[in-house]
Amino acid sequence: MKTDIEPTSSAAGSPPKVRTRSTGRAGDKIFLALSRGSGIALLVIMAAIAAFLTYRAAIAISKDEANFLTYFEWNTGSSPMRFGIAVLAYGTIVSSIIAMVIAVPVAVGIALFISHYAPRRLATPVAYVIDLLAAVPSIVYGLWGALFLVPHLTGLYTWFDDYLGWTGILSYQGGAARSLFTVGILLAIMILPIVTSVSREVFRQVPKMHEEAALALGATRWEVIRMSVLPFGRSGIISASMLGLGRALGETMAVATVLSPNFLIETSLLDPGGGTFAQNIASRFKEAGNDGRDALIASGLVLFVITLLVNGAARMIIARRKEYSGTAA
Amino acid sequence: MSNAVVDKGAHRASSLKQARLPRWTPYALVVGSAAVGAGIGTALGMGSPFQMGLIAALVFIIASYILGAVVEGGRQARDRLATSLVWVCFLLAVIPLLSLLWETIDRGRTVLDGYFLGHSMEGVQTILPGGGAYHAIIGTLEQVGLATLIAVPIGLLTAIYLVEYGRGQLAKAVTFFVDVMTGIPSIVAGLFILSFWIIILDFGYSGFAGAMALAILMMPIVVRSTEEMLKLVPDELREASLALGVPKWRTILKVVLPTAIGGITTGVMLAVARIAGESAPIVLLVFGATGINNNPFEGAQSSLPYYIYEQWQLGNDASFNRAWAAALVLIAFVMILNLVARGIARWKAPKSGR
């Protein structure tokens, strides 16, 4: 191939033609190098994120006089620093779980609504509106949550307290509803779009034959969904929820505006208090000194690792599903 | 034998005559349950529309199930239950969005005017009305612009590598880590630039530091959307160009990219819209300023998301009004980007096949 081209190009003798061809080959090399270089740059950035965070975190943890994982305070100002992430881990996980419990069923419902229930004329605008919900910046959610949602939730919480207060988890002492539960509700609204759009994609891929077969046997619409759509979409729903969970774990500003933080683990979810990793970083950053910043970076590293695990698991489920449906189709 | 067939036919005919609820039943139920919800709510003295809405939704779901069960039988009743649940889910999602938009527009427009868009907060007493978001708008435009300049070339080239060249281990690794990167919390990207650029390299807080964190958040979005668009370009076009002796890089630049340019533009604009609303890295890296700073490479700046957070923290009516107005500006900016992006996508959609 190569030997074939070179004699002809040199024999052709017309300089412009030769130049075009030779720059063509060089151009290919340069272009490949550039594009491969960008790919590698992305990998380097990921590695650098892990490396630099670990480095600063190691410095902070070596100065920490308390157990980093189990200590209940965050004193980075005092001369032997004593700080731990126990409260943050609790708050992050609890608020995300509340968000998931609310958001996943509703999101699956909306996805079903768009794919199977809504009249055609309504389905497209609804899908569009849900996408717009994703486009609203998180700080605007935070503002809305703090100034509109919080005052409107006190009534509901009092009602919870009246009937379910005996559980301890849902007791409420009054005051502004700037609690982990409110954060969970707000996070649920914020992760709805991603869970909805991923589940919707999966529901759309359900083989039409399965549904038509069920319909032909006289199944009602709900029976079609229960027997053919949900089993097909189960892994898709799981991975969609985990992508949503990843979002909820790392959400910063909406939580920082709504939550009224403290460093206690309250038994009641409705009373204000607690904190999350991201919220703690944003709220304390301005007052933190050099060591304080490193301590915050250490807690950020924990958040990074948790979200990596959750997102990695979600992606793996999606990838495996793709292989299945690829062989099945 | 023939008897049996006749019997079966008769049976089916009778089941076809099974009682069905009239078509307007769900609508009547909606009105009825809304009335019941409002009634119970006012009777028990519940102030918030949340509870009334929840009660109405519950009444609607239970009523449609019971009606279905009594008139049509169990299977149809379960179907009605599922249908009403799905509709309630849909309403649950639309209500917060409408409420959010309504609140923002209603409370933002009281302050939003030319003065607000043209002045900074320099020397403004924070508890008094007045001042504006000009410095924040400048900051947002500069930071997002710089982030786009960094992220788009890298993102585009990576996507080209993955679609046009990538086989083998490296491509697999890049694909996986692009997916992982989409999940990085924005605050972690901010902490990375903080530890690397500000703590270790000892540069000061600046708009550029924020832009780098935003670029990290933007890259994977650009890669993903560009990749999807490049995959839509039919292979026949590439083959035709290569068969004419055009080198691969010129094929990509002159044939593949122009075909997909509409979708790529859409993807980039959606990515810009996404990062324009990011506030967490800005809090860590740009630090916020009340005055106008036109230089993104030197000194603290502000940005619209940061401005909203700052005004919210001040905690008085005048600052809340400013926060809502800035939120209105930000939402308008993001929504316009979204609408234009989708318009381009529809207008320039690559015709698949022929």
The reply to whether B221 and B297 lie within a common domain is: yes
The reply to whether A44 and A118 lie within a common domain is: no
Phi, psi of A272 (to 5 degrees): -60, 150
The reply to whether A122 and A173 lie within a common domain is: yes
Q: Is the dihedral of CA B143, B147, B149, B150 positive or negative?
A: positive
The reply to whether B80 and B152 lie within a common domain is: no
What is the C-alpha end-to-end distance of chain B, expressed in Å? Answer: 56
Burial of residue A51 (CB within 10 Å: 0-12, 13-18, 19+) is middle
Q: Which residues contact B59 (CB under 8 A, 6 or more apart)?
A: B32, B33, B36, B37
H or E element, residue B213: helix B207-232
Per CB-CB distance under 8 Å, the chain A contacts of B166 are 39
Considering only residues A324 and A290, tell me which one the structure prediction assigns the higher pLDDT.
A290
Q: How confident is the model at residue A302 (pLDDT cuts 50, 70, 90)?
A: very high
Mean of pLDDT values over B250-278: 89
Contact criterion met (CB below 8 Å) for A191 and A105: no
> What is the tens place of the pLDDT at every residue in A114-166?
888 888 888 888 888 888 788 889 999 999 999 888 888 887 788 888 888 77
Nearest-angstrom CA–CA distance, B216 and B37: 48
The reply to whether A263 and A230 lie within a common domain is: yes
pLDDT higher than 70, residue B11: no
Where does a domain end: A25, A43, A63? Answer: A63
Question: Looking at the complex, does the CB of residue B13 fall below 8 Å from at least one CB of chain A?
Answer: no
- Please check whether residue A69 lies inside any domain of the structure: no
Q: Is the dihedral of CA A198, A204, A210, A214 positive or negative?
A: positive
Locate B239 and state its tokens.
């083959």
Q: CB count, 10 Å around CB of B121? A: 24
Q: What is the pLDDT of residue A11?
A: 42
Q: What is the pLDDT of residue A98?
A: 93
The CA–CA distances, whole Å, from B303 to A139, A241, B132, B210, B237 equal 12, 32, 12, 10, 44
Contact criterion met (CB below 8 Å) for A221 and B83: yes
Residues 63-92 (A) with a CB less than 8 A from some CB of B: none
- Name the β-bridge partners of A75: A82
Phi, psi of B287 (to 5 degrees): 75, -20
The reply to whether B101 and B166 lie within a common domain is: no
The reply to whether B207 and B311 lie within a common domain is: yes
Among A270-274, B3-7, B154-158, B255-259, whose mean pLDDT is lowest? Answer: B3-7
- Please check whether residue B129 lies inside any domain of the structure: no
Nearest-angstrom CA–CA distance, B104 and B189: 29
The reply to whether B101 and B240 lie within a common domain is: no
Q: What letter does residue A173 receive in the DSSP assignment?
A: -
Phi, psi of A83 (to 5 degrees): -150, 150
Q: What is the mean pLDDT of chain A?
A: 82
Contact criterion met (CB below 8 Å) for A276 and A92: yes
CA distance B154 to chain A (A): 5
- Name the β-bridge partners of A74: A83
CA distance B354 to chain A (A): 23
Locate A225 and state its tokens.
């969904």
Bridging pattern class, strands A74-75 and A82-83: antiparallel
pTM (predicted TM-score) = 0.85
Q: CB count, 10 Å around CB of B1? A: 5
Nearest-angstrom CA–CA distance, B191 and A277: 12
CA distance A242 to chain B (A): 11
Interface A–B counts its CB contacts (< 8 A) at 279
From the list B184, B220, B225, the residue with the least C-alpha distance to A247 is B184
CA distance B22 to chain A (A): 17
The reply to whether A80 and A227 lie within a common domain is: yes
- Please check whether residue A198 lies inside any domain of the structure: yes
The reply to whether B233 and B311 lie within a common domain is: yes
Contact criterion met (CB below 8 Å) for A139 and B305: yes
- Please check whether residue B94 lies inside any domain of the structure: yes
Question: Looking at the complex, does the CB of residue A101 fall below 8 Å from at least one CB of chain B?
Answer: no
Contact criterion met (CB below 8 Å) for B27 and B83: no
The reply to whether B96 and B161 lie within a common domain is: no
Contact criterion met (CB below 8 Å) for A111 and A194: no
pLDDT higher than 60, residue A261: yes
CATH of the domain at B211: 1.10.3720.10
Q: Is the dihedral of CA A308, A310, A311, A315 positive or negative?
A: positive
Question: Looking at the complex, does the CB of residue A19 fall below 8 Å from at least one CB of chain B?
Answer: no
Per CB-CB distance under 8 Å, the chain B contacts of A251 are 185
Locate A292 and state its tokens.
């304080």
CA distance B315 to chain A (A): 10
Question: Looking at the complex, does the CB of residue B94 fall below 8 Å from at least one CB of chain A?
Answer: yes
Mean of pLDDT values over A102-118: 90
Q: What is the mean pLDDT of chain B?
A: 83
Q: What is the pLDDT of residue A326?
A: 45
Q: Strand, coil or helix: what is B278?
A: coil
Question: Looking at the complex, does the CB of residue A303 fall below 8 Å from at least one CB of chain B?
Answer: yes
H or E element, residue B181: helix B168-182
Among A22, A30, A46, the strongest candidate for a mutation testing the B interface, having the largest count of B CBs within 10 A, is: A46
How much of chain B is helix, strand and coil, in % rounded to 5?
75, 0, 25
CA distance A244 to chain B (A): 10
The reply to whether B86 and B143 lie within a common domain is: no
- Please check whether residue A104 lies inside any domain of the structure: yes
Residues 331-350 (B) with a CB less than 8 A from some CB of A: 331, 334-335, 338
The reply to whether A30 and A148 lie within a common domain is: no
- Please check whether residue B353 lies inside any domain of the structure: no
Q: What letter does residue B53 receive in the DSSP assignment?
A: H
Domain count, chain B: 2
Q: Compare all CA atoms of chain B with the CA of A50 and give the residue at the minimum distance.
A: B192
Query: How many helices (H) and strands (E) are present in chain B, helices listed first?
Result: 15, 0
Q: What is the pLDDT of residue A220?
A: 86
Among A191, A253, A299, the strongest candidate for a mutation testing the B interface, having the largest count of B CBs within 10 A, is: A253
CA distance A22 to chain B (A): 10
Domain, as residue range, for A124: 74-328
The reply to whether B334 and B247 lie within a common domain is: yes
Contact: B100, A140; criterion CB under 8 Å: yes
- pLDDT above 70 coverage of chain A, percent: 90
The reply to whether A56 and A141 lie within a common domain is: no
Contact criterion met (CB below 8 Å) for A318 and A239: yes
A184-A185-A186-A192 Cα dihedral, nearest 10 degrees = 100
The reply to whether A43 and A78 lie within a common domain is: no
The CA–CA distances, whole Å, from A307 to A180, A245, B149 equal 19, 8, 27
Contact: B280, A252; criterion CB under 8 Å: yes
pLDDT higher than 70, residue A204: yes
- Rounded to the nearest angstrom, the gap between the alpha carbon of residue B297 and the centroid of all alpha carbons in its chain is 29
Domain count, chain A: 2
Query: How many helices (H) and strands (E) are present in chain A, helices listed first?
Result: 13, 2
Q: What is the pLDDT of residue A227?
A: 87
- pLDDT above 90 coverage of chain B, percent: 22
pLDDT higher than 90, residue B328: yes
> What is the tens place of the pLDDT at every residue in B12-40?
444 556 677 777 777 888 888 888 877 77
Among A59, A104, A139, A258, the strongest candidate for a mutation testing the B interface, having the largest count of B CBs within 10 A, is: A139
Contact: B252, A136; criterion CB under 8 Å: no
- Please check whether residue B12 lies inside any domain of the structure: no
Contact: A135, B188; criterion CB under 8 Å: no
Contact criterion met (CB below 8 Å) for A262 and A285: no
The reply to whether A21 and A115 lie within a common domain is: no
The reply to whether A58 and A79 lie within a common domain is: no
> What is the tens place of the pLDDT at every residue in B214-232?
999 999 999 999 998 898 8
Q: Which residues contact A243 (CB under 8 A, 6 or more apart)?
A: A194, A195, A198, A311, A314, B183
Q: Which residue among A25, A28, A281 sits closest to B187, beta carbon to beta carbon?
A: A281
- Please check whether residue B115 lies inside any domain of the structure: no
Q: Strand, coil or helix: what is A273?
A: coil
Nearest-angstrom CA–CA distance, A196 and A190: 11
Contact: A152, B48; criterion CB under 8 Å: yes
Mean of pLDDT values over A92-98: 92
The reply to whether B99 and B194 lie within a common domain is: no
* Angle in degrees, CA B187, B193, B196, rounded to 5: 135
Locate A176 and state its tokens.
């502004």
E strands, chain A, where? Answer: 74-75, 82-83
Locate A311 and state its tokens.
């997102």
The reply to whether A44 and A161 lie within a common domain is: no
Question: Looking at the complex, does the CB of residue A53 fall below 8 Å from at least one CB of chain B?
Answer: yes
Locate B41 and state its tokens.
């709510």
- Please check whether residue A293 lies inside any domain of the structure: yes
Per CB-CB distance under 8 Å, the chain A contacts of B332 are none
- pLDDT above 70 coverage of chain B, percent: 91
Look up the ipTM and state it.
0.84
pLDDT higher than 70, residue B352: no
Looking at A64-179, list the stretches that DSSP marks H as alpha helix, in order from N- to C-terminal side. 86-112, 120-135, 138-144, 150-164
Domain, as residue range, for B233: 134-347
Per CB-CB distance under 8 Å, the chain B contacts of A130 are 93
